[in-house]
């Protein structure tokens, strides 16, 4: 307990610095002047100094200064900078409306971007990824479907899974070590079409931030990364429509005011239509009766200057429904997420957000054949709340604290089978498992000097298992930055993360039967300790940021599957799990240019990730599946003219690891009446697939139509995935040559895939 008292002592001490002069506060919200959307991360600072702050995720800022006259600068990426002169003699509310770049002069916008990059240099926060949504839209992907997760996979430290998959392996972690939040709620299933497309409809998104290390204390619950995704609030000013028709799916978003400047809505939908097209082609036959869809809704109500209410909703499904004379059935899986949030400003320094969360993921599989029937159902449901506070003490000190509570309810593997199939798949009722998770946290962002910023905090998490075991884990967080000058800085961070859930999946492809399970009395929470150190340099003239980070991560109580485990519809999954430790370290290099006619980035990672489990690989340390030594991505976008631009992404990755079958033998059974064929595996993950590399390109042609009552903006996206048609090794099989000899051959899934998409806005 002593160390906790010490921690809170310093926390309070840091926040109680007294200033001799009268102090007053400028506070308010920064908006987009066209849509009325709040802006996240806008900078509000005193001209010519580094004194300032940034708006939080709800667009709110608070700046406490000594009495006097100030030139305040408000800037945001892609928007014109605004200057305000303030004579500060009392607390002031200053709401600011920024004009988007396209309505103003480029030079001013560039200046604003420069300031954001300078803030990145100064900030204690490190290991973060931020890409503007507008930039994400132009990066080519499979089928031309904009996909934020696939874009994140192009970043250093983030490795993708198999070809086209939406899995992420961050800094040596596993695929289930990533916390993905949509308007504060956890998204358990982030994929459509067995992992090839993400569930996030880009039209409905406002901002995406990803943390790989140096985690702020308000985030936790996963070992390796946090992706915080925010939906658009809905246009407060006028009604408009965004949409797009793509190769695989189409999407449409409607938004507008219900009460101007007071209340707005957003409704967004997306559906794939390969099933409908094939139905047309094959005259009504259900050739591929599969589709997916997403629905995003948001309601945003400004109750008063101090209170704001948001309701966010997401519903999406993957549906396969087949009907024939010999087999009738299919599957359905998807998320249902809703959050209600209430922002309240207690005073100009104390901002709060109360969120009620419901999130559910479930799947159902049904099959009926003559004389047989089978159905399987599983679900996970979270109900909870978050109450977060931000106290903007002064320009040097901000304290964030809060409490989060979640009731996790799991109902896995409810199986009903009848007929001969019941001999192979037994009916099970499925166990109802409930766990309760409580988190309290406090975080202090503190400028020790003008050049040194400190960010430290403690997250205390508790989890009560179904059988009454209480886990409690302190999770200290710490990061510090030292600005050598306004162009370069050094950073260092330490984070402990604890994970109380794990995904049971023994496949390299996302299956509907993959399920989340909580820790239990026997399966302990996973834990990681990560150290990271970084250096940043800003080439101001060319607006290019260079960053280099090294990290070292230890992971404890990791979960793997016992040798020979078969987890598909296995109700006794706990018996199949074994625990061990892991280690990961690496170096990441990132050069990013976000403005000008040419923008893009180069990301390179060299990394190592190992595991050690007593029950696996004869107890010997082995490389993790996604221990890939080198990852390189080069992403660029070039505007030839205002109407015509191109973008490309070239990626190279060392092949992923696998456990090869190197032989087999026949073994008589124990009664010597029959034989079994047994496979011989090499050491775990000792095989390496060939390296993969590919080029994706797209060309964007913009068109405008200005009529009296209609301002139509259109964009054609033409491009190709895997432009030079190189196999991205994904699986290995044995092929026989004409002479009868055999060889191992690695195959990919997709070759050259062209796409065309048309996006519009009016």
Partner 1 sequence: MDFVKYFLIAGYISVLLLFNSCTPKGIDIDVEPAESKIVVASQIVPQKNIIVSLTKSFSPLEPIATTEQVAQDALNKFLVNNAFVTVSYNGQVDTLDMLVPGIYISTNTLLTNYNNYTLNVYEPSTGLSASALTTMLPQVPFDTVYPIITRTPVDTTVAIRYILTDNPNEENYYVINYILKQSSGGANLDISSYFGNGSNKILSSYELLNDASFTNNVYTHLSTLEDVTPNDSIAVEVANITRGYYEFLTASKRTGGLLTQLTSEPIHFPTNVVNGYGYFNAYYPNAKVFSLSDY
Q: Single out the residue of 568, 591, 606, 695 in contact with partner 1 (rule: CB under 8 A).
A: 568
Q: C-beta of 150: minimal distance to partner 1 in Å?
A: 18
What's the gap between Cα 375 and its chain centre?
Answer: 32
Binding test (CB under 8 A) with partner 1, winner from 594, 727, 757, 759: 727
Cβ neighbours for 542, distance < 8 A, ≥ 6 positions apart: 593, 596
Nearer to partner 1, 78 or 729 (CB): 729
| Structural contact between residues 430 and 415, judged by C-beta atoms closer than 8 angstroms | yes
Binding of partner 1 by 107 (CB under 8 A): no
Our finding on whether 672 is near partner 1 (CB under 8 A) is yes
Using the minimum distance from each CB to partner 1, give the nearer residue, 144 or 156: 144
Span of 355-363, 375-383, 564-572, 597-605 interacting with partner 1 by CB under 8 A:
564-572
Residue 13 touches partner 1, criterion: CB under 8 A: no
The reply to whether 371 sits near partner 1 by the rule CB under 8 A is no
Question: 396: closest CA among 457, 455, 445, 458?
Answer: 445
Residue from 86, 263, 320, 753 touching partner 1 (CB under 8 A): that is: 753
Q: Is 288 in the site for partner 1 (CB under 8 A)?
A: no
- Written as six digits, the tokens of 377 are 């159902």
Structural tokens at position 746: 């690695």
Query: Among residues 208, 463, 558, 746, which is the contact residue for partner 1, using CB under 8 A?
Result: 746
Write the CB contacts of 173 (distance below 8 Å, at least 6 apart in sequence). 223, 224, 225, 528, 553, 555, 584
One residue of 262, 358, 562, 629 binding partner 1 per CB under 8 A: 562
Q: 78 or 243: whose CB is closer to partner 1?
A: 243
Residues sharing a CB contact under 8 Å with residue 417, sequence separation 6 or more, in sequence order = 372, 373, 374, 375, 425, 426, 427
Nearer to partner 1, 642 or 743 (CB): 743
Q: Which 3 state secondary structure label does DSSP give 452?
A: strand
Rounded CA gap, 304 and 740, in Å? 79
* Cβ neighbours around 13 below 10 Å, total: 10
Q: What does residue 294 show for φ and ψ, rounded to 5 degrees?
A: -135, 145
Closest CA to 300 of 337, 338, 340, 354: 340
> If residue 149 lies in a helix (H) or strand (E), which one and from where to where?
helix 148-152
Structure tokens at 317: 């499904």
Of 324 and 736, the one with the shorter C-beta distance to partner 1 is: 736
Residue in 22, 49, 323, 566 binding partner 1, rule: CB under 8 A: 566
Which of 116, 491, 684, 717 touches partner 1 (CB under 8 A)? 684
Does position 287 interact with partner 1 (CB under 8 A)? The reply is: no
Q: H/E element holding 113?
A: helix 106-122
Residue 92 to residue 450: CA distance in whole angstroms: 25
Say how far apart CA 65 and CA 478 lie, in whole Å.
Answer: 26
Query: Of the two residues 477 and 502, which places its CB atom closer to partner 1 in the complex?
Result: 502
What's the first-to-final CA gap in the chain, in angstroms?
60
Q: Which is nearer to partner 1, 99 or 562 (CB)?
A: 562
Encoded one letter per residue, x for contact with partner 1 by CB under 8 A and - for no contact, window 481-510 reads -------------------------x----
Among 370, 419, 474, 754, binds partner 1 (CB under 8 A): 754
Show the binding pattern over residues 517-556: x = contacts partner 1 (CB under 8 A), - = does not.
----------------------------------------
SS3 356: strand
C-beta of 100 vs 655, nearer to partner 1: 655
Single residue of 725, 758, 760, 762 touching partner 1 by CB under 8 A? 725
Distance, in Å, from the CA atom of 239 to the CA atom of 255, rounded to the nearest integer, reads 6
Q: Is 572 in the site for partner 1 (CB under 8 A)?
A: no
Burial 244-278 (b: 16+ CB within 10 A, else e): bebbbbbbbbbbbbeeeeebbbbbbbbbbbbbeee
Number of residues that bind partner 1 (CB under 8 A): 67
CA gyration radius, the chain: 27
Applying CB under 8 A, does 346 fall inside the site for partner 1? no
Binding residue (CB under 8 A) for partner 1 from 294, 392, 748, 757: 748
Binding partner 1 (rule: CB under 8 A), the pick from 18, 90, 326, 423 is 423
Q: Least distance in Å: CB of 247 to partner 1?
A: 7
The smaller minimum CB distance to partner 1, of residues 158 and 248, is found at 248
Which phi and psi angles does 138 have, rounded to 5°? Answer: -90, -10
Contact 153, 190 (CB under 8 A): no
- In the region spanning residues 611 to 630, those forming contacts with partner 1, defined by CB under 8 A, are 617-618
By CB under 8 A, the residues from 232 to 251 that bind partner 1 are 247
DSSP 513: T
Cβ-based nearer residue to partner 1, 396 or 747: 747
Tokens of 104: 């103003």
The backbone torsions φ and ψ at residue 18, rounded to the nearest 5 degrees and listed phi first, read -105, 140
Residue with Cβ nearer partner 1 (383 or 421):
421
Distance of closest approach, residue 513 Cβ to partner 1, in angstroms: 11
Measured CA to CA, the distance from residue 430 to residue 180 in angstroms comes to 27
Q: Binding of partner 1 at residue 662 (CB under 8 A)?
A: yes
Per CB under 8 A, does 285 bind partner 1? no
Q: Which of 12, 277, 448, 470 binds partner 1 (CB under 8 A)?
A: 277
682 scored as a contact of partner 1 (CB under 8 A): yes
CA gap 521, 588 in Å, rounded: 38
Q: Does 738 bind partner 1 (CB under 8 A)?
A: no
Q: Is 427 in the site for partner 1 (CB under 8 A)?
A: no
Nearer to partner 1, 554 or 693 (CB): 693
Please say whether the beta carbons of 361 and 188 come within 8 A: yes
User: According to the binding rule CB under 8 A, does residue 677 interact with partner 1?
Assistant: yes
Site for partner 1 contains 571 (CB under 8 A): no
Beta-bridge partner residues of 42: none
Q: Are 525 and 198 a contacting pair, CB within 8 Å? A: no
685-714 binders of partner 1 (CB under 8 A):
687, 689-690
Residues that bind partner 1 (CB under 8 A): 247, 277, 280-281, 423, 506, 561-566, 568, 617-618, 659-674, 676-682, 684, 687, 689-690, 722, 725-727, 729, 732, 734-736, 740-748, 750-756
């Amino acid at each position: 307990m002593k160390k906790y008292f010490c921690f809170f002592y310093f926390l309070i001490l840091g926040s109680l610095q007294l200033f001799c002069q009268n102090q007053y506060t400028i506070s308010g919200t920064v908006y987009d002047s066209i849509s009325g959307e709040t802006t996240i991360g806008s900078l509000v600072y005193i001209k010519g100094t580094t004194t300032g702050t940034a708006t939080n995720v709800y667009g709110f800022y608070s700046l406490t200064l000594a009495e006097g006259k100030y030139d305040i600068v408000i800037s945001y990426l892609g928007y014109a900078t605004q200057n305000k002169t303030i004579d500060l003699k009392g607390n002031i509310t200053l709401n600011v409306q920024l004009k988007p770049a396209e309505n103003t002069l480029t030079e001013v916008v560039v200046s604003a971007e420069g300031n954001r990059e300078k803030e990145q240099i100064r900030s204690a926060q490190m290991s973060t990824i931020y890409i503007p949504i507008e930039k994400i839209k132009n990066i080519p992907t499979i089928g031309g479907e904009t996909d934020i997760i696939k874009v994140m996979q192009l970043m250093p430290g983030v490795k993708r899974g198999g070809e086209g998959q939406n899995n992420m392996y961050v800094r040596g972690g596993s695929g289930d070590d990533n916390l993905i939040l949509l308007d504060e709620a956890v998204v358990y299933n982030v994929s459509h079409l067995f992992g090839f497309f993400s569930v996030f409809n880009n039209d409905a998104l406002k901002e995406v931030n990803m943390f790989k290390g140096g985690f702020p204390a308000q985030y936790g619950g996963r070992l390796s990364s946090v992706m915080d995704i925010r939906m658009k609030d809905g246009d407060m000013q006028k009604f408009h429509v965004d949409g797009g028709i793509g190769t695989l799916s189409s999407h449409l978003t409607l938004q507008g005011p219900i009460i101007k400047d007071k209340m707005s809505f957003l409704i967004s939908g997306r559906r794939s239509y390969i099933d409908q097209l094939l139905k047309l082609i094959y005259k009504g036959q259900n050739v591929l009766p599969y589709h997916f869809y997403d629905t995003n809704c948001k309601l945003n109500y400004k109750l008063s200057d101090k209170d704001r209410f948001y309701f966010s909703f997401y519903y999406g499904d993957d549906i396969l429904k087949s009907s024939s004379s010999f087999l009738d059935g299919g599957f359905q899986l998807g998320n249902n997420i809703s959050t209600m949030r209430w922002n309240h400003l207690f005073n100009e320094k104390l901002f709060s957000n109360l969120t009620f969360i419901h999130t559910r993921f479930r799947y159902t599989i049904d099959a009926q054949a003559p004389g047989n029937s089978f159905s399987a159902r599983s679900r996970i449901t979270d109900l909870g709340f978050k109450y977060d506070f931000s106290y903007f003490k002064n320009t040097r000190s901000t304290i964030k604290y809060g409490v989060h509570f979640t009731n996790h309810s799991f109902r896995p593997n409810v199986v009903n089978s009848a007929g001969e199939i019941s001999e192979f798949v037994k009916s099970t009722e499925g166990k109802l498992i409930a766990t309760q998770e409580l988190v309290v946290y406090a975080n202090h962002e503190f400028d020790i000097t003008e050049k040194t910023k400190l960010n430290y905090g403690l997250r205390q998490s508790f989890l009560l298992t179904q059988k009454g075991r209480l886990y409690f884990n302190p999770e200290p967080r710490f990061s510090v930055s030292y600005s050598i000058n306004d162009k370069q800085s050094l950073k260092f961070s330490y984070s402990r993360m604890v994970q109380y859930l794990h995904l049971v999946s023994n496949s390299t492809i996302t299956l509907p039967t993959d399920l989340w399970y909580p820790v239990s009395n026997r399966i302990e929470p996973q834990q990681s300790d990560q150290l990271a150190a970084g250096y940043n340099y800003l080439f101001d003239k060319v607006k290019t940021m260079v960053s280099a980070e090294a990290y070292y991560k230890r992971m404890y109580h990791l979960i793997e599957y016992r040798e020979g485990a078969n987890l598909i519809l296995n109700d006794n999954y706990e018996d199949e799990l074994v625990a061990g430790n892991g280690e990961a370290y690496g170096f990441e290099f990132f050069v990013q240019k976000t403005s000008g006619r040419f923008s893009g980035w180069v990301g390179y990672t060299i990394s190592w990730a190992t595991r050690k489990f007593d029950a696996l690989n004869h107890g010997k340390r082995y490389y993790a599946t996604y221990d890939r030594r080198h990852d390189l991505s080069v992403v660029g976008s070039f505007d030839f003219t205002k109407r015509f631009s191109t973008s490309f992404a070239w990626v190279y990755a060392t092949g992923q690891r696998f456990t090869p079958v190197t032989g087999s033998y026949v073994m008589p059974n124990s009664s010597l009446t029959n034989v079994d064929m047994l496979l011989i595996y090499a050491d775990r993950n000792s095989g390496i697939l060939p390296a993969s590399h590919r080029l994706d390109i797209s060309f964007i042609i913009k068109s405008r139509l200005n009529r009296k009552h209609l301002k139509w903006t259109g964009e054609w996206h033409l491009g190709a995935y895997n432009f030079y048609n190189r196999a991205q090794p994904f699986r290995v099989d044995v092929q026989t040559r004409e002479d009868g000899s055999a060889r191992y051959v690695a195959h990919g899934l997709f070759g050259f895939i062209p796409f065309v998409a048309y996006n519009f806005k009016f």
